[in-house]
Structure 1
Amino acid sequence: MSADDVKLVLEALVVLGCIVMGTRAGGVGVGLWGGLGTGILVFVFGEAPGEPPAAAMAIILAVVTAAAMMQAAGGIDWMVAMAARVIEKRPHQITLIAPLTAFVFSIGAGTSNIIYPLLPVIYDVSYRNHIRPSRPLTVTVVQSGMALAASPVSAAMAAMLTLTDVAPYDLGLTEILAITLPACVVGIVVTALVVNRMWPDLDDDPEVQAKIASGELAAPGAAVTVAPVPAAAGGDMGGDVAGPASGSAGAGAGTGADTPPASTALTYTAAGRNSALAFFAGVVAIVILGLFPDLRPAFEVEGEGTVSIDMTTTIVMVMFAVGVAILFLGRPKVSEVPDQSVFKAGMISAIALFGIAWLTATFISAHEEQIIDTIGGWVTDWKVLFALAVFLVAALTTSQSTATRTIVPIGLAAGLSPGLVTGMWAGALSGVYTLPANGTQIAAANFDHSGTTKLGSKLLDHSFFVPMLIMTVVTVAVGAAIGSLVA
Structure 2
Amino acid sequence: MLYLEVAILLGSIALAAKLGGIGVGIAGGFGLTIVVFALGLTPGEIPITVMLIIMAIILALSVVQKAGGIDYMVKLAGIALRKHPKYINFLAPLIAFILTVITGTGYSSLSIFNIIQEVAKQNGVRPSQPLSSAVVASQLGITASPISAATATTFVYVEQMGVSFSSMLCVIVPAALFGVLIAALVSSFQGCELKDDPIYIERLKQGLVNLGGKQMDEEQTKGAKISVWLFLGGVAFIVGMLLFKKQIGHSLATRDLIIISMYFISALIIYFSKINLSSIKETPIFKDGAQSLIVVLGIVWLSATILGAHTEEIKTFSSTILKEYPGFLAVIFFIASSMLFSQGATAALLVPLAVQLNVDAQTILASFVAASALYITNIYPTTAFAIAIDDTGSYMDKKWNGSFIVNHPFFLPGLLGICAAVPFGFLLAKIFV
TM-score w.r.t. the length of structure 2 is: 0.87
The structure whose Rg is larger is: 1
Q: What residue in structure 1 maps to residue 241 of structure 2?
A: 289
Structure 1 residue 364: Cα displacement: 4.6
Evaluate the alpha carbon distance shift between residue 174 and residue 32 of structure 1 in structure 2; reply closer, same or farther with a 3 A threshold.
Answer: farther
- Does residue 331 of structure 1 match 2:274? yes
The separation in 1 between residues aligned to 2:126 and 2:285, in whole angstroms, is: 31
Of 187, 193, 217, 1:195 maps to 187
Instruction: Give the match for residue 437 of structure 1.
Output: 379
Partner amino acid, structure 2, of 1:346: G
- Report the RMSD for the aligned CA atoms in angstroms: 2.9
Q: Counterpart of 2:280 in structure 1: which amino acid?
A: V
Report the equivalent of 1:181: 173
Is 2:406 the partner of 1:463?
Answer: no
Cα gap change, 1:22/1:433 in structure 2, threshold over 3 Å: closer, same or farther? closer
Deviations 1:349-408 (A, max 9, x none): 223323444444445554433322112212333334322222223223333233333333
Local SS of the residue matching 2:233:
helix
Contact 1:160 1:404 in 2 (8 A): yes
The DSSP-based 3-state class of the residue aligned with 1:423 is helix
Preserved CA contact (<8 Å) 1:289 1:295: no
Q: How many residues align?
A: 428
Percent of residue pairs identical = 29
CA contact (8 A) 2:209 2:392 kept: yes
Do the aligned residues in 1 keep the contact of 2:156 with 2:254 (CA within 8 Å)? no
Alpha-carbon separation, structure 2, partners of 1:18 and 1:170: 37
With over 3 angstroms needed to count, the CA separation of the structure-2 counterparts of 1:442 and 1:358, relative to structure 1, is: closer
SS in 2 for 1:427: coil
The equivalent position to 1:215 in structure 2, one of 205, 213, 230, is 205
Residues 272 and 176 (structure 1), Cα distance of their counterparts in 2 relative to 1, 3 Å cut: same
For 1:162 and 1:16, the matched residues in 2 are separated by: 29
Q: Deviations over 1:268-303 (max 9, x none)?
A: 3221111111111111111111100046564xxxxx
| Structure with a larger share of its residues in helix | 2
Instruction: Report the alpha carbon displacement of residue 68 of structure 1 after superposing the two structures with TM.
Output: 1.2
State the AA in 2 paired with 1:88. R
Quick check: 1:66–1:279 contact (8 Å CA) kept in 2? yes
Matched, 1:259 2:210: yes
CA distance in 1, matches of 2:242, 2:69: 25
Q: Go from structure 1 to structure 2 and tell me whether the alpha carbon gap of 1:365 and 1:484 turns closer, same or farther (over 3 Å shift).
A: farther
Moved more, 285-294 or 10-19: 10-19
Shift of 1:262: 2.4
Change in 2 beyond 3 A, CA 1:66/1:418: same
1:57 to 51, 54, 64: 51
Contact 1:179 1:419 survives alignment (8 Å): no
- Structure 1: runs of 5+ lacking an equivalent: 1-6, 217-255, 299-307
Deviations 1:99-146, CA, capped at 9 Å, x for gaps: 101111111122222333322221222223333322212111121122
Question: What's 2:361 paired with?
Answer: 418
CA distance in 1, matches of 2:425, 2:178: 9
By how many angstroms is 1:428 displaced? Answer: 3.9
Q: Which runs of 5+ in 2 are unaligned?
A: none
Structure 2 distance, partners of 1:14, 1:405, is: 20
Q: Deviations over 1:235-264 (max 9, x none)?
A: xxxxxxxxxxxxxxxxxxxxx531323252
**Structure 1 CA distance for aligned equivalents of residues 108 and 51 of structure 2:** 23
Q: Residues 397 and 367 (structure 1 numbering): CA distance in 2 closer, same or farther, change over 3 Å?
A: closer
Q: 1:47 to 1:296 in 2, by over 3 A?
A: farther
What pairs with 1:114-129 in structure 2 (closer than 5 Å)?
A: 114-129=108-123
Out of 67, 71, 87, which is 1:93 matched to? 87
Cα distance in 2 for residues equivalent to 1:359 and 1:296: 39
Instruction: Within 5 Å, give how 1:202-281 maps onto structure 2.
Output: 202-203=194-195, 205-207=196-198, 210-211=201-202, 215-216=205-206, 257-265=208-216, 267=218, 268-281=220-233
Cross-structure match for 1:4: none
